[in-house]
Structure formats: structure tokens, C-alpha cells
Amino acid sequence: MGRRAGSHVRRQVERDRRAYLRRNWRLMVMASLAYLGLTTFVLLLLSLTVLRPVVPVAVGATIVGWLWFMTAVLDATDGTFLRRQGASAEVLTSDALRKLRRRGWRVIDDVAFHGRNVDHVLIGPRGVWAIETKWSLNPLVSDDGKLVKERGTDAAIQARQAARSIRSLLRAEGIRT
């Protein structure tokens, strides 16, 4: 039932990244060639100067730098930044909720329902709670008692849908809420 916090989002991001790389492999090759061309030029200059002994270290740094550079290019261009941040926020929320175990609560992360999920389910002495984690570059604001993101999406609607899904699951198992 429950999985690691953020795993639903991470799976979507991995799928989307693979699709992005299939569509944009030429961009990644061009970025690699640009990086490697520039660093080869710098290494050539180093080998022609008194810094020749540092060339092996510079070659190692170039390889590590290329891996970092390509990761940065992918992170900046694949369009998954906000969802990756959301997955990280889910992990942080889960870690915070797990502190409640000492008070008799149980946390189940990433409960799947027909193509969507409930980020966290908290079960304990005061009931069952469906918790949705949101991450945004912009603060959430209240509009007539509803949490609204700047783009106009109602974050509370998703939390209510999650609660209904959990309630239906519990009722199907004969548990009254």
C-alpha cells in the first residue's frame, strides 16, 4: 500500500526525463561537445606551459566537471524542477510526521489510487488524516478560506479528494469514519 515518500513523483520525473532525452539527445550531445572542446583547449594550453605536471589532475577534474555540467544542463532544461522539489518536500514532510510515532501515530506514505496518490496518511489516537504536501516557488495564499496557489489552483481541493479516497478505502474494509 504505502511506498517511500515522493516515489510517485520520482517515477513520473524519471519517465519524463527519459522522454526528454529521447527527444533532445542532440542538444545534450552539442552541450557535451561544447564543454569538451573548451576543456580540451584549456588542457592543451596547460600542457604547453610550466603547469604540465598538473595535466593529469586537470583531466580528472574535466571528467568530473563534465558529469556535473551535463547534470546541470539536464536539470535546467528538462522541465522537472518543480516536481523534483515537490518530491523532496514530501520526504521532509514524512520525516517530520514520523516524529509523531512516539505519540502513537502511524505514517503511511504515497498511497496509490487509480493514477494518483495521497502523499501521507496519518493514523492515530485522534483519527485518520490524509495529508498532501505542496511545494511552490510562491507562497500559498488564502482566498475566502481556501488555499489558492498563485496560478489559481486550489490546493485544498486535492487534500479533500485525498481524504475522500482514504475514507472510501477504510469503508471498503469495514472501518467506519
Is the CB of residue 135 less than 8 Å from the CB of residue 93?
no
Is the CA virtual torsion 46, 49, 52, 57 positive or negative? negative
Summarised one tens digit per residue, pLDDT across range 133-146 is 877 777 666 666 66
**pLDDT recorded at residue 158:** 77
C-alpha cell belonging to residue 106 = 502511524
Q: The whole model's pTM is what?
A: 0.68
**Low-confidence residues of the chain, pLDDT below 50?**
152
Summarised one tens digit per residue, pLDDT across range 30-68 is 989 999 888 888 877 877 777 777 778 888 888 898 999
Between the two ends of the chain, the Cα-to-Cα distance in Å is 19
Is the CB of residue 130 less than 8 Å from the CB of residue 165?
yes
